[in-house]
Structure 1
């Protein structure tokens, strides 16, 4: 069914890297969500009113929120298509993340309202008029939501969309909540127990829990979360595969929305290489990263002196010192700066985030160890955070 819908509504749907295809897939998902959730809302609302069940009405309102979420998703994908302009040179792809956040917030609001109505039903319980129509509506809802969960999940994986993957999880949660409502109705009918309000409250709490998790997932990329580990590994592997590259460091990846990824990297090459040759090589690597990984990269060239005995000796000494302080510390861009008054050791030190910003203390420890080894060198250290 999913492939059929893709063939009917999305041209060249297999080319998921194409931004136009991605937008079309998102619009298809949003449209299907509006139609399916709208039908479920009307069916459950009628069944809830006829039976007098606040749990069924709560589940109906949940479907209404899902339909509203699909509207937001549809608008989000449409806005994300807007091209870059003077005010937004990196494009508008983050609208997709914003739409996902709005969906999550809407779910939280609905959950709070359902808690209020369910508590009222617990305080003032009423009998439920259970019927075959009610059972039919709830079973049909479970089956439709199961399909929707798989549908959104497949589309989300195909275009790597956090919004659609979150929608798939939400649909799966709806299956659980509707099954709980159905179970509550059956228990109330066969055992004459007025637990409708409690079931409604359980559904509301479940909705709040899902909404809270969705808020965390959708807000993280907006706050600048770490890039995907697989992407980092691919970038490093591609760059290091070129002959003459001595090392890479300070890789920073900036996510401006799906398909809009920018990065910067420091590349170490021998200082003896011709600068024009190095420049041409860097241009080639940047273009290769863009073509193969769809990442717009800027590479900073770090010339490394590899044949100087004294520099190598000092580097080995400093590496031994920092490893004695903490085995996770690492350095790069090591060089010696000399003038008439003093000789300084200059390098970058990568410090794990969990060590905190104890930079001044670290520098004093390193200089104290150097002094113990009769190396009266000052240090000029640039500290880099790392995992």
Structure 2
């Protein structure tokens, strides 16, 4: 229980860090966008605003998903992280649409870019800040197998590229004098965001339909079961699914009918232990069948 509490605190701490980081960067980007008149910087501020909302969702989802199973939720609360990931992905779509609308206005009515040094400096600061914060969040996401934190880290990782892209765009405007580069860069930013949103929604939505574990994880399960060829006759009916960071695995094994209940149970304990060591956060259910098992008609 203390380990679970520690893991929960770790997840909520990095989620809170993301909230603070996004809030600070939004203020910087809005100031730089207003001073420079750059739509690409303002589009980045819109992106970061969506990221802030996503960070808040991630913060509350990791807190809620860490609650233990109860009477109404016997399989735990893990899927709240998947719901969070889907919502975050949809928010990114909205951000991309808003950016494209603002960029289209600037193409029709181009304006002068001012305070380019300030604008470029803010974009570099944003990229560097997001680099370190996203690395920290992504590390915890992998350690805790948290889709909500992974989605949050993905947001910030995209911000690194988009911030650098906007900075380079403003630099090119300063060098070439071509004002259309600003909205064009903003639209390219939006395209990257749409790609990010699609990948995120696809990843987060699959477990809501009880999609199976990855091929790599299922291959690990098969390798473990094959190790017990001398103790079990065969295995079949393997099924897997995940909810948040929880992974549910069930299958049947056929054993020699002369084995006692205690001996069969011991084999199951060994298999479960091996799976748990190879794949984190597993819940394994094993159905035991004797070698001459037949289902009689009713």
Q: 1:19 to 1:94 in 2, by over 3 A?
A: farther
Distance 2:109 2:284 in 1: 63
- For residues 120 and 128 of structure 1, the distance between their equivalents in structure 2, rounded to whole angstroms, comes to 15
Partner of 2:283: 296
Higher relative contact order (CA 8 A, sep 6+): 2
* 1:230 Cα offset (Å): 4.4
Aligned partner of 1:111 among 96, 107, 128: 96
CA contact (8 A) 1:282 1:299 kept: no
Q: Secondary structure at the match of 1:91?
A: coil
1:93-104 matches, within 5 Å, as 93-104=78-89
Q: Are 2:281 and 1:281 aligned? A: no
* CA distance in 2 between partners of 1:232 and 1:218 (Å): 19
Q: How far does residue 19 in structure 1 lie from its aligned partner after superposition? A: 2.7
CA separation of 1:151 and 1:110: change in aligned 2, threshold 3 A: same
Question: How far off its partner does 1:285 sit?
Answer: 3.4
Does 2:209 match 1:223?
A: yes
Conserved 8 A contact 1:286-1:297 = no
Aligned equivalents of 2:232 and 2:58: distance in 1?
44
Indicate which of 18, 30, 33 corresponds to 2:18: 33
| Unaligned runs of at least 5 residues, structure 1 | 1-11, 13-17, 306-332, 338-387
Aligned to 1:269: 255
TM-score by length of 2: 0.88
Q: Give the TM-score normalised by the residue count of structure 1.
A: 0.69
Q: Secondary structure at the match of 1:300?
A: strand
Structure ID, larger Rg:
1
Provide the residue aligned with 1:75 in structure 2: 60
Q: Flag the structure with higher helix content.
A: 2
Larger mean CA deviation between 150-159 and 39-48 belongs to 150-159
The superposition leaves residues 182-239 of structure 1 with CA deviations (integer Å, 9 ceiling, x where unpaired) of 1111121221111211111111121112111111111112222222344434444444
Name the CA distance, whole Å, in 1 between partners of 2:285 and 2:178: 67
Offset, 1:35? 0.8
**3-state DSSP of counterpart to 1:251:** strand
Could you report, residue by residue, the CA deviation over 1:20-46 in whole angstroms, capped at 9, with x for unpaired residues?
A: 233212211211111111111100100
